[in-house]
Chains A and B, each alone.
Chain A
Amino acid sequence: MSGFFKEIPFPDQPPLERPELEQHAKRDTTRGRGLFLAALFGLAFALLGWRMGALALVPQEDAQRTAPAEAIADRAQITDRHGRVMASTLPTWEVALRPRMTAKAGGLSPDDLTALQGIFPDLDRNNLRYLVNSGKRSFTYVERRASPRQWKQARDLGIIGMEAIPRSDRVFPAGRVAAHVLGGVDVDNKGISGIEKGMQSRLTDVRVADTPVALSLDMRVQNALHLTMSEAVAEFAALGAAGLVMDVRTGELLAMVSLPDFDPNERPPLPEPGTDPALSPLFNRASQGIYELGSVFKLITASAALDAGVADLDTMLDARHPIRRGGFTISDFLGKGRMMSLEEVIRYSSNIGAVRIADLLGVERHKAFLEKLGMDTKVPLAELPAPERSAGQLPFKWRSSNAATVSYGHGLAVTPLHIATAIASLANYGCKVTPTLLKRDNKLPCERVISRETSGKLRALMRVVGKHSSGRSANIAGYEIGGKTGTAYKIKPGGYDFDKRFNTFIALWPTTEPQYVLLLSLDDPKLLDGSGKLPLAGRTAAPAAGRAIERIAPLLGLAPTDRFRPTGQFVDEVTEGGELPISLPPLETTE
């Protein structure tokens, strides 16, 4: 390299003397060193430049991963669909004591203990005094969830050996109202149930820690449903209840309540081994409990037959006599003992008529229709952990007797969420509804389960029940409420318990332009009014559902149609191209 700069003497010059040669050589050496140093610096600067360039060109996504360590401990907030906070993480302190250190400094005086007890009411002062006096332990917690104010007060006592470790704690300001949906976290702020577990990875993703998870729930609707169900449980001395409200257009769950419930801020212990977990307040009856839901299934049987074209609303069916199937006699609760149209079978909730419809449908088509509605699988509500969603139980072997009982909702068990999703799909002009607990901005593309025409007929049937039959106690004027009751005997080992019922009412409104489905189930309700009447769904779940709709519909901004929209004959769209009126005049009313 240095040779490049070497001076070439002119040929006519006299040869250089020795001292001059040495001088030239020295100069060459100096130049060489200088060039070497320059190269070294150049290389160092090139490396530095390359490194700076590389840092500047790091992708944004990777850069966001280098978030401050403080944010890593946080969980994102959970809000309802309108941004109301339902779960949040707040700073707290773990207040601890080093008993040996405290003992060396003179121990705890009675005044100290009294003051500590005043700050931390749950403190076991005798145990703390024992630990300090005995010197058996070097560390103990005084309070694991102290507020900043509590820690400040404790610190001001000046107790030697007392210290605090900062941490964050999950709080649920809405309390027990949405307990089963939200779930809870453990002492390390890790989700252990509900949304907190089902969406653990999203809630702890530091890249989106500042963006709350917006649920589909509307806290006003959730409160209204919770309040109404609590009143119904008290009024009918029920063991528990399940309820939900779903937007049939999007599948969004606006409310989901299970009673008994719990306060997620003070989570109760897991049920004792050997006890029935379904009786625990931690058990979610809406998505986890599977029940025989009774006559609400007649809507599904009728829809299957109407869509298959094997029957129509005016198809006459023989309901004159009880039927014997597989050694069992199937009869009606309040039988008419005559031929009935399909519409009357639903109106009067005839078990015999439902079996006749199932006979027309055939076992294979019946089974396939239930499977198409997802009755044999878990409801695809991925926001909840899998153990909190139960799969429906269809008969293991489909004999004619199974098909007969399934037609009126016995011999198969599903969750209330299953039946609400199925009815929402059938009512939503026949387009499948996928439920969600997350706010959904767009309607899903239509995946058809039944024809639009069949959907119109089903809604007409529901309106008849809601207006003239067992569901009329839920009929709030101006909201065109349709529905179906279901009264099922509860199962006990070896058969049915004919003294205990599981009552359900499923409502749809408005039936001309379906928007919402509400389901309300009561577990073992009793009529305490002294009337001596049987506690059927029409007397328990249906009026409770009516009260819920009366509260919820105005909250959703739905004005009564009879005052604010043109009224007239019940008209339903049954074809893609136009409207066809379906007029189902009221006949006699029924229980």
Chain B
Amino acid sequence: MMWLWRVIVALGVGGLVYSAVSLYEAKIETRELARAVDRLEARQQAIKREIAALDTEWSYLNSAEHLYYLIGLHSDVLRLQERVPDSFARLSELPPKGAGSQEGQQ
């Protein structure tokens, strides 16, 4: 029975040592992963901020005040007009294909 007890104790000690080593490794790995997650989160935040800044800038560029300014600036070339009820048309009311481009060439 003595040998059995010794085997059990040896296995227990070995298991404990293995668990301790595994736990230490897991801890180190977890710490590294946590740092990686932090880095990713920081990068994500930075990218989100950049996207927010771009969205905001786009909203400014797309704002009515800015668009009216641009329309005024290029009115002689673009000849843009507001959408009005008469802007709606049926397909049958559209000019034949190519008519507009021919007119433009003249």
Contact = CB atoms under 8 A, between A and B. Distances in A.
Interface in A27-64: 31, 34, 38, 41, 45, 48
B12 interface: yes
Interface in B33-60: 41-42, 45, 48-49, 52-53, 55-60
Contacts of B49: 90-91
Q: Which of A86, A554, A555, A564 has the most CB of B within 10 A?
A: A554
Nearest to A174: B63
A478 B87 CA distance: 13
Contact of A560 (B5, B41, B48, B88): B88
B75 interface: no
B48 to A, nearest CB: 7
Contact of B85 (A41, A86, A476): A476
B63 A175 contact: yes
Contacts of A68: 41-42, 45
Chain B's interface size range is: 20 to 34
Given A551-B82, A553-B85, A559-B88, A173 B48 contact: no
A171 interface: yes
Contact of A550 (B1, B57, B85): B85
Contact of B63 (A89, A173, A478, A559): A173
A71 interface: yes
B56 A85 contact: yes
A90 B41 contact: no
Contact of A171 (B19, B45, B56): B56
Given A88-B55, A91-B49, A171-B56, A34 B85 contact: no
Nearest to B83: A554
A548 to B, nearest CB: 12
Contacts of B21: none
A177 B58 CA distance: 16
Contacts of A86: 59
A362 B34 CA distance: 74
B9 interface: yes
A385 B14 CA distance: 68
A7 to B, nearest CB: 8
Nearest to A86: B59
Contacts of A38: 9, 12, 16
A554 B84 contact: yes
Chain A's interface size range is: 35 or more
B85 A77 contact: no
Interface string B66-106: 00000000000000001111011010000000000000000
A477 B87 CA distance: 13
A579 B1 CA distance: 100
Nearest to B48: A210
A223 B23 CA distance: 62
Contacts of B58: 85
B85 A84 contact: no
Contacts of A476: 85
Contacts of A330: none
A291 interface: no
A498 B23 CA distance: 88
A468 B48 CA distance: 55
Q: Which of A41, A86, A226, A479 has the most CB of B within 10 A?
A: A41
7 contacts: A34-B9, A77-B55, A85-B58, A91-B49, A173-B60, A174-B64, A551-B83
Given A477-B85, A554-B87, 14 more contacts: A5-B5, A68-B42, A77-B52, A85-B59, A89-B52, A90-B52, A173-B60, A174-B60, A177-B64, A479-B85, A551-B83, A554-B83, A559-B85, A563-B88
Of all A-B residue pairs in the complex, the 9 with the closest CB atoms, nearest first, are A223-B64, A173-B59, A173-B60, A85-B59, A559-B88, A88-B56, A554-B83, A85-B55, A560-B85
